[in-house]
Structure 1
Amino acid sequence: METRAEESPEGLHYKAAGSGYDEVYGSESEIQPHWQYLLDGLKTLGAPGISERQQKAERILRDDGATYNSGFPSSATWQLDPVPALIASEEWASIESGLQERAELLDLVLKDLYGNRELIRHGVLPPELIFSHGGFLRACDGLSLPGEHQLVMHATDMVRDHTGKMLVIGDRTQAPSGAGYALENRTVMSRVLPSLFRDSHVHRLSIFFQSLRLKLSSLASQITQEQPRIVILTPGSYNETYFEHTYLANYLGFPLVQGSDLRVSKGYLWMKSLGGLERVDVVLRRVDDFYCDPVELKSDSRLGVPGLLEVVRSGRVIVANPMGSGFLENPALLRYLPQIANHFLGREAQLSSVKTYWCGDPQDLTYVIEHIDQLVIKQCFRRPSEHSIFGSELDEPKRLALIEKIRQEPLSFTAQEYVRPSTTPSWKNNQLLPRPSILRGFSVAMDSSYHVMPGGLTRVGSQSKSLNLSNLRGATSKDTWILASEPERQISLHESQPLPMPTPAQPRIAFPCRVVENLYWLGRYAVRAEAALRLLRTVFVQINSTYHMPKETEQVLLQTVTQLTTTYPGFTLSGSPKSAQPEAELLSVVLDGKRSGSVTANLNSLLECSDQVREMLSADTQRVINDLRDELGGLAESLKQGLTAAPEEALDPLVTTLLALSGLWQESMVRGLGWRFIDMGLRVEKALQAVSLIRASLVPVLPKYQQQQVLESVLLSSEVLITFRRRDRSGSDMAQGLQLLLSDSSNPRSVFYQVDQLRKHLAELPSATNGSGLADEDRYMLEASSAIQLCQLEELVVEDEDAGTRVELDQLLSRLQHLLHETSNQISTKYFDQIKVHQQLVRTDWDEEL
């Protein structure tokens, strides 16, 4: 077998496989000119330099939160090869022209399928190919977008055959994914290999996203003369490409919404925001067809908006791509594209498709069964859980089972000839190795044609013989460089004629209620976790202290852990063996993620809230959250030796990371509604945690020495022990300690400080009052503030000998807890959208088939 290689002085070399087409060498034995500069640059870097660049890329992707969710609850950092894929500008011109034409052709097919259906009438397409396919939606018949094009975005998967010819193996038209990942790849590579990138004169990607933004704005102008509201509809944070949804939302400047954030009312589509209902004009959807409207499509969908299709019919909202475009993803359509091209264009398409057979055709069925070992079998209707089947990989029983399934449902299966993909250099095991590659190209509609992204998303297999080059199967992505012969002019993302901005008197609230709810709970979970960590850290120190701790003191501290974290029954049962041997229970409070109130459970909830509002978080905030995720992942290992190995030290990094997160919110966030709700969550929870801590630890009466130990432990946990010791104390230690914890306006951790900040926030919220006096939440906080300021500390610390508690202190704290909980309830009722669970009244068999 012939081997082609280019040696380097450092041993860094690239050997192409002896058969098939290679991107570097083509069909020849010499390196193609457009690869020479990159390979020379990689040789200069050497293996250590490339590995260092790869590690830097991984850090950037990790810091950016770039993930690909392979399935709930797991997600992995997006994988990027540090060696880009190169295409010469001259060759790209031909590919670009072919992609433009293909998008135009599929657009014509889409218009015809939901219009006059001439392709059926003229015998170009068999009716059963269309009407048997789940992607053809009868409810969408007759729908059309304003303007020349129906298909707004289009993605095409392509491979090279052994001659170097580019062939299409599939199309994505419902909610084409990958463009955002291509942009992230480009951002990372321009930082990892800045000189090589700059000197290679790589075509930039910004014009593609500018075109997308302009197209959506143009569509919106067809139905409104006011400033349009364009949103990106996502299935949510568990979708595999959720990072891309948030990335595009930030890059394009559109709100990211879920189905629950929208509603249909009075014939229009609205977004539920803090300012009330805001009309939506255009929806860029990342939700598949069937899930968009549970009324007319998939009745048990929770991802769409009930009644959306009716609003689309009325022309009062535009959905891109239009619902029903999923039929164009049918791989069987490739079988008939030559005839379709002749029908519409009068000639063959520039960009050929791989040879395809549809089992609904008797002759094709016979051929597929006889040659199944040489073919790739695909379902006509693509489901997320199903993948292409390579006949060459099947053993005899599986092959016979597949043939039987095809015979039973011939209309549902398509077969394609296997085209061995071209190989391209990939950095594996500290060397450049040939790996099979596939390219996804993207196009977006313009006024008269389509604009093609000058690049795309290249995927390479993890092994030299990888067949299925999908992200779900472990493929790695590459940045795709289209090399210009001269520097490309800079192009801004902003429109040349920007849309009118809202007046300062009427600011538009750019996010839905769900977002502020998650921001609010993000703050609350952060404080919950921090308070628990601080107390546990203090308890670990006290238990392991060389000083003797009386059993009564230890018991109060352990019960405080249970009451603060609400991990009942915990240490609250009298005579419980957990109190005598507290290690297992304390570690459970830290590590048991299934236990409500545990540190791990609260941190997991915090991370989930952060995923829901990722588009609202800065890069630095995302970095700190990733650090938190990493620290949490290693916590069990750090604590495996239990209380004998200074467990408080394992908790320190988590506390520090949470403090960094709080610092970013306080110092880096614009003082808008997003920050206000995070801070309100922080203040509510800090107040509740402080009240719970005081009530659990200082209400019980202990002998003086033991009481002092408990008080100092509480002050240490609250970070005011040093202040307490340095102050001149005129009263009892207990009263002075309470003053610091409860009513000191200069202490940012005191209960009064939190209440005071909450009152200020509530006064600034939209619709804070209804014109009939104080709102309920304002009254609650006024009462809490007054109660704290009017209390007499020396009276609060008076002991009731019969009850063994400080009764007045307990009553005050109980009232404060009630007022804080009621305030939180009022905030939730007034400002957060309470998602109602809709009960499906009728089960339909066709839902299961979908």
Structure 2
Amino acid sequence: MQETTQLPQSLLNYARPDTFYDEVFGPDGEIREHWRYLLEGLGSMGDAGLQERQRKAERILRDDGATYNISSETENSRTWGLDPVPLVIGSEEWSRIETGLIERAELFDLVLKDLYGPRELIRQRILPPELVYSHHGFLRPCQGLRLPGDKQLIFHAVDMVRGGDGNMVVIGDRTQAPSGAGYALENRTVMSRVLPSLFRDSQVHRLSLYFQALRRKMASLSPNGDSPRVVILTPGAYSETYFEHTYLANYLGYSLVQGGDLTVRNGYVWMKSLDGLHRVDIIMRRVDDTWCDPVELRADSHLGVPGLLEVARAGNVVITNPLGTGVLENPALHKFMPKVAEFFLGHELQLPSTQTWWGGEPDDLKYMLDNLNKLIIKPTARRSGDHSIYGASLSKEKLEELKARINSNPMHFIAQQANLPGSSPSWQNGELKARSTVLRSFAVADQSAYSIMPGGLTRVASGDEQWIVSNQLGATSKDTWVIASEPQRQISYIEERSATFTEDQTSDLPSRVVENLFWLGRYSERAEAGMRLLRTVLIQLNSLSYLPTTVHDLMLKAVTQVTTTYPGFTQDSAELLSQPEKELMSVILDRRRPGSITANLHAMLNCSEETKEMLSADSHRVINDLRDELAQLPQLLGNGLSVAPEEALDPLVTSLLALSGLTQESMIRGFGWRFLELGRRLERTLQSTSLLRAMLVPVLEDSEQEQVIETVLLTSEVLITYRRRYRTRPQLDHGLTLIMLDKTNPRSLHYQVDLLRQHIEQLQNRDRSPVLSEEHRAILEALTLVQLSRPAELANAGEDSGVREALDKRLARVQTLLSKVATAISDRYFDHRSGPQQLVHTGWSEEP
């Protein structure tokens, strides 16, 4: 070791494993040369500096919204984990690995073309027919399906670990919809900010060429001429890797769609948008094979497009990777790859697979069962919740259970030699620890060969006893630095290309995205209105001054009426009104209760997930803050409503206001922004009318009426304006003037309804129809009703009725018209047709 090498104290304490390959230290205990510069840089910043870099990386990932969803639930998602210590690979070694990866991708492409073509591998007895035909990834309807060009396998991902000799060994292939390239790009972006000088001076290979090749390949595949429309098909916001789907869609400039956004008509695939149907040329899918077409594949799928496979067979749409590639993910193929390579290439693979035994062969099955405690067991088909099993980690009882499972379906299990992953240093709990490491590389078909991403996505175990490295099992990730032998030329990630200008680039959004933006606006306003009222009511209930029973009960009933959490305080229950804490806590915290604050905020967060690609980075930061504050709300209210409970709601209201401001300042004024604004203004008007009806229609004594008016003014954020303008005690006619008619008040009914009119007229102008639409007529009538209002008349009490009938009728009519507007917009612009329904359950695609 050179004396000039300055190592961090944590590396000096680094426990170097004796039995496995370590990335940093050679067998002689010396540091490998390509690690030296990085370790010197880490040493110069010390352990405290490295810890700070980790915290910075976590903040960036959180602000970017980089998540990995656990158990397919967005609420249980966790921020993507990134180790601040990258995996470093020397240029010479990477050159050998890259050559092997290209060769492997070429071979798998040949296998794919053969299995859905002449099937010479089966005819020549190189592959057992049951290996192919018993695997649910082999799709007979895809026979003869071909993409333009020679290469049929467009994307290929390979999982590798170190073998006993230190060389890389393949333990798995991903060919359906390989994930991880987007996360690798995010890791690189974060690391270039966390360790900028180290990254720059280390001469790390850039990722640009891989993504340039990807774009180039997508453009070349178009079956319908130049300027193809490329979409990324995602299972939706509940997908484990949904962040990656949105990230790549934004980065590459492709539309992100779900199955319901696409339709098959006249032999083509079309994307449903607000301004009509747009023909889709290329689908980059992130949905597994059998879920892509409920007509010919899996009948119970709601993730795919009915009739998609027929259009692909006709050559009118290109799907990458093509349907049917799931058969290549069968790990039992590893056993036969040496013979397959000899058949197609005439020589052994440079990058070998780990030794594999398949339960479909009697000798292999016997070896598997006799040596379960020494092997890694895998199912031949990946399914949700299934993981590789390291036999040595099982008890005798668990081993017997595993034996019984294998004996029941031996063809559906394989065993692999326990090439346990080599280790690399990982910064965990304030120190460097040796952790198992798996590298996933990525290949994309280019013009004549495959392009390989330099490095890829490195996953590292979270504990020293975790031999199976999986994101679902809590693994974190590393950036992968392939060190160049000479300085790298600076290249943009995306190649230069001629720009195309569209006057309204957001008009071609899927209608699903626009609908979710509409409801994002509505749910945010519902939550904000409810919290504003609750804050005011809680302040009044806990104030030192006397609160008359009539006012007390009226405020509580208004909470139920505005939040629509019926029956609530509208029940004829004196006990509930006298002891309101439990009900108020339910209105705030009960997520299962429609109309509650928590329910509305979670619905808003779900809408934000569905529209993730439309929101700015700052908006994502605010949404993440809101999500964190919502998670802390039960704890903040743990002591009940006796000690300043309104302060627990303040951060949530502030976050909603920040989000509203950001959408005003950072969104293009296209369809997306317009429908977000429509939802926001529509809901704000409905909430305001509900508040006025609940609080001001009942007639009270003068002193009580003043308290109620003050509550309404405070809730509506105009109490200070009222005092400065009128300099009198709260009076109903002045309050109605300010809340209903004042054009300068951004929360007045007139202001909101007039904005709605403007948005609706803009939509009407796009249609170029001289006939007013239903929503246009309704909003004009509502605006006229507000404009013709005379506060003094509306403030008059009816004779002996106890209510202000004129005010109630006027507000009720405005509410009815606004509800009509909402329904008309929904019917006119959003797609409510139900998806395909399964009539017959075939069960053919499920493993027995």
State the TM-score, normalized to the length of structure 1.
0.97
Cα distance in 1 between the residues matched to 2:65 and 2:174: 25
Distance 1:605 1:721, change over 3 A: same
Shift of 1:158: 0.2
- 1:200 lines up with 2:194 in the alignment: no
1:565 alignment partner, one of 543, 563, 578: 563
Cα distance in 1 between the residues matched to 2:618 and 2:833: 31
1:111 alignment partner, one of 110, 113, 117: 113
Equivalent residue number for residue 305 of structure 2: 305
Distance 1:632 1:337, change over 3 A: same
Cα distance in 1 between the residues matched to 2:508 and 2:485: 42
Cα distance in 2 between the residues matched to 1:538 and 1:449: 67
Cα distance in 1 between the residues matched to 2:65 and 2:655: 16
Opposite residue 100 of structure 1, the aligned amino acid is I
Equivalent residue number for residue 515 of structure 1: 513
- Give 3-state SS (helix, strand or coil) of 2:479's partner: strand
- Give 3-state SS (helix, strand or coil) of 2:295's partner: coil
Opposite residue 133 of structure 2, the aligned amino acid is F
- 1:171 lines up with 2:170 in the alignment: no
Opposite residue 460 of structure 1, the aligned amino acid is V
Cα distance in 2 between the residues matched to 1:748 and 1:842: 55
Unaligned runs of 5+ in 1: 1-5
Cα distance in 1 between the residues matched to 2:26 and 2:297: 48
Cα distance in 2 between the residues matched to 1:438 and 1:217: 32
Equivalent residue number for residue 475 of structure 2: 475
RMSD of aligned Cα (Å): 1.6
Equivalent residue number for residue 530 of structure 1: 528
Cα distance in 2 between the residues matched to 1:117 and 1:848: 24
Query: Does the CA-based 8 Å contact 2:180-2:457 persist in structure 1?
Result: yes
The equivalences for 1:386-397 within 5 A come to 386-397=386-397
Equivalent residue number for residue 265 of structure 2: 265
Shift of 1:12: 4.7
Deviations 1:311-334 (A, max 9, x none): 001100000000000000000001
Between 538-547 and 317-326, the greater mean CA deviation after superposition: 538-547
Opposite residue 846 of structure 1, the aligned amino acid is W
Equivalent residue number for residue 501 of structure 1: 500
Cα distance in 2 between the residues matched to 1:189 and 1:494: 19
Distance 1:446 1:719, change over 3 A: same
Equivalent residue number for residue 797 of structure 1: 795
- 1:122 lines up with 2:124 in the alignment: yes
Equivalent residue number for residue 591 of structure 2: 593
- Give 3-state SS (helix, strand or coil) of 1:124's partner: coil
Cα distance in 1 between the residues matched to 2:11 and 2:402: 45
Equivalent residue number for residue 212 of structure 2: 210
Distance 1:497 1:796, change over 3 A: closer
Cα distance in 2 between the residues matched to 1:198 and 1:133: 47
Equivalent residue number for residue 292 of structure 1: 292
Opposite residue 444 of structure 1, the aligned amino acid is V
Opposite residue 595 of structure 1, the aligned amino acid is R
Cα distance in 1 between the residues matched to 2:575 and 2:440: 62
Shift of 1:847: 4.4
Query: Does the CA-based 8 Å contact 1:502-1:508 persist in structure 2?
Result: no
Equivalent residue number for residue 3 of structure 1: none
Opposite residue 501 of structure 1, the aligned amino acid is T
Shift of 1:18: 1.9
State the TM-score, normalized to the length of structure 2.
0.97
1:748 alignment partner, one of 746, 749, 765: 746
Opposite residue 41 of structure 2, the aligned amino acid is G
Equivalent residue number for residue 242 of structure 1: 242
Shift of 1:9: 7.0
1:614 alignment partner, one of 599, 603, 612: 612
Deviations 1:300-319 (A, max 9, x none): 00000000000001100000
Cα distance in 2 between the residues matched to 1:175 and 1:137: 16
Between 278-287 and 395-404, the greater mean CA deviation after superposition: 395-404
Equivalent residue number for residue 39 of structure 2: 39
Shift of 1:120: 1.0
- Give 3-state SS (helix, strand or coil) of 1:571's partner: helix
Shift of 1:224: 1.7
Equivalent residue number for residue 712 of structure 2: 714
Cα distance in 1 between the residues matched to 2:790 and 2:727: 16
Deviations 1:358-393 (A, max 9, x none): 111122112212222211111111112211121212
Opposite residue 542 of structure 2, the aligned amino acid is N
Equivalent residue number for residue 94 of structure 1: 96
Give the percent of matched residue pairs that are identical in Structure 1 and Structure 2: 57
Opposite residue 650 of structure 1, the aligned amino acid is A
Unaligned runs of 5+ in 2: none
Between 174-183 and 400-409, the greater mean CA deviation after superposition: 400-409
Cα distance in 1 between the residues matched to 2:646 and 2:729: 33
Shift of 1:28: 2.7
Cα distance in 2 between the residues matched to 1:212 and 1:769: 38
Cα distance in 2 between the residues matched to 1:112 and 1:157: 23
Cα distance in 2 between the residues matched to 1:419 and 1:769: 64
Between 193-202 and 840-849, the greater mean CA deviation after superposition: 840-849
Q: How many residues align?
A: 841
Cα distance in 2 between the residues matched to 1:175 and 1:441: 14
Query: Does the CA-based 8 Å contact 2:219-2:227 persist in structure 1?
Result: no
Deviations 1:819-838 (A, max 9, x none): 00110111111111214143
The equivalences for 1:740-819 within 5 A come to 740-765=738-763, 769=767, 771=769, 773-819=771-817
Cα distance in 2 between the residues matched to 1:377 and 1:790: 77
Shift of 1:556: 1.0
Deviations 1:789-835 (A, max 9, x none): 11222111110132200001100101000000110111111111214
Shift of 1:195: 1.1
- 1:63 lines up with 2:80 in the alignment: no
Equivalent residue number for residue 80 of structure 1: 82
Query: Does the CA-based 8 Å contact 1:567-1:596 persist in structure 2?
Result: yes
Distance 1:167 1:708, change over 3 A: same
Deviations 1:55-95 (A, max 9, x none): 11111111111110011241111111110000001110000
Query: Does the CA-based 8 Å contact 2:709-2:730 persist in structure 1?
Result: no
Equivalent residue number for residue 435 of structure 1: 435
Cα distance in 2 between the residues matched to 1:460 and 1:729: 67
Equivalent residue number for residue 366 of structure 1: 366
Shift of 1:575: 3.5
Query: Does the CA-based 8 Å contact 1:274-1:766 persist in structure 2?
Result: no
Equivalent residue number for residue 702 of structure 1: 700
Opposite residue 324 of structure 1, the aligned amino acid is G
Cα distance in 2 between the residues matched to 1:769 and 1:503: 18
Opposite residue 780 of structure 1, the aligned amino acid is A
Cα distance in 1 between the residues matched to 2:68 and 2:168: 27
Cα distance in 1 between the residues matched to 2:561 and 2:287: 43
Cα distance in 2 between the residues matched to 1:167 and 1:11: 30
Distance 1:132 1:443, change over 3 A: same
1:683 alignment partner, one of 667, 676, 681: 681
The equivalences for 1:400-439 within 5 A come to 400-439=400-439
Opposite residue 196 of structure 2, the aligned amino acid is P
Deviations 1:316-354 (A, max 9, x none): 000000000000000000111101111111101110010
Query: Does the CA-based 8 Å contact 1:631-1:654 persist in structure 2?
Result: yes
Query: Does the CA-based 8 Å contact 1:264-1:308 persist in structure 2?
Result: yes
Equivalent residue number for residue 145 of structure 2: 143
Cα distance in 2 between the residues matched to 1:597 and 1:153: 45
Distance 1:503 1:588, change over 3 A: closer
2:737 alignment partner, one of 731, 736, 739: 739
Equivalent residue number for residue 644 of structure 2: 646
Distance 1:350 1:769, change over 3 A: closer
Shift of 1:401: 2.7
- Give 3-state SS (helix, strand or coil) of 2:263's partner: strand
Cα distance in 2 between the residues matched to 1:408 and 1:799: 80
Query: Does the CA-based 8 Å contact 2:229-2:280 persist in structure 1?
Result: yes
- Give 3-state SS (helix, strand or coil) of 1:436's partner: strand
- Give 3-state SS (helix, strand or coil) of 1:443's partner: strand
Shift of 1:651: 1.1
Cα distance in 2 between the residues matched to 1:769 and 1:389: 59
